[in-house]
Each structure stands twice: as structure tokens, then as C-alpha cells.
Homo-oligomer: A and B are copies of this chain.
Amino acid sequence: MSLAHAVLTSLLEKSSSGYDLARRFDKSIGYFWHATHQQIYRELARMDAAGWLESFVPPDAGKTRKKHYRVLDAGRAELARWTHEPAEPMDLRDTITLKLRADAVLGEVDLVPELRRHLALHQERLVKYRDIEARDFPAGKALTRAQAIQHLILKKGIRYEEAELAWGREMLTLLCATRSPSR
């Protein structure tokens, strides 16, 4: 049960509606922790019932069904409690790596196009992360403790994408160099 804690964290960073949360989980936050809008609505309903947060109709709602959520003390307490729970490091579950293992064992199945697609996607993400970094953490700016942590988290994402790109290019070189001549 960690989606709840991801939602709590995200709401504490910026209290908002389920819809807005869902959109954030589909882009910026979503690169670190993905969730669909159905999961988020379900989780919000549960946490509302549990008294971890409260919902209210925001002043700018007009005639829409828009609901706004705010974390309550019980929610903060639960989040703090959870941070001290020991957790296992995640497994990678990387599809492209699994496909390459399949290629190795099946004999050449031509993963070059799929690998290129992945490189392009990682390149795209890297650009986005660097844009966020340039915007939120310009060089020389003094940072609070919280901002310093957030910057280091973003840097983790940047380095991860850089590593993926470097590794993917090496793998691409290997695949092309050992390509059977018939193709």
C-alpha cells in the first residue's frame, strides 16, 4: 500500500482535485510513480473514508462537480509512520531488457527498431527533466532543505535517463555489429 502515500505526499506538496492529481500522476510525478485516474479516485475515496483527508467544493467550482482535497492530521501522521517502515528496493522489471534476453536465447529477432523507440522516449524524458531543472533550480540559487532534497530527486531522474541512453546506445551498437548479413 504505497499509492496512498504517493497521493498524500503529492497532496501535501499541492492540495488539489482528483482530476488535477490524476494529470500530475500522468506526467511529472508519473515518471517516478505512475497511476491512472481510476486508481486515484478509488484511493481518494478510501482515504476520505479513513479520515486521512477531507474533500470540499472549492470556491471556483461554479456548476462543475469539482472536488478539492486537503490532507488532515491523521493523513500526515500515517505518512510519517509509513516513512519509517522498512521497504525493499524495487525490482527493475524493465521490458526492453527482458526482450533483449529473449533475443539472446531465441537468436536474432531484430530488436533494433524497438530499441530505437526506447532511446527516443528516454531522450524526450531527459529533455523534460532538464527543462524542469533549469526552471526550478537555476545554478547558484540558494535552496531550503526541502528544495535541496527535491533537486537531488530530480537529478536522480536525470542521471537515470542519461544512463539508459548510454546503455541503449551501446546495446544498439552491439546489435548492429552482430546483425546477420541476410537482413
Contacts and interface: CB of A to CB of B under 8 A. Distances in A.
Interface of A: 2, 5-6, 8-9, 12-13, 30-34, 76, 79-80, 82-84, 86-111, 114, 117-118, 121-122, 125, 145-150, 152-153, 155-157, 159-160, 163-164, 167, 170-171, 174-175, 178
Contacts of A167: 152, 155-156, 159
Main DSSP-derived SS at the A contact region: helix
Contact of A98 (B9, B80, B178): B9
Contacts of A6: 98
Contacts of A88: 95, 121
Contact of A101 (B9, B82, B160): B9
B163 A148 contact: no
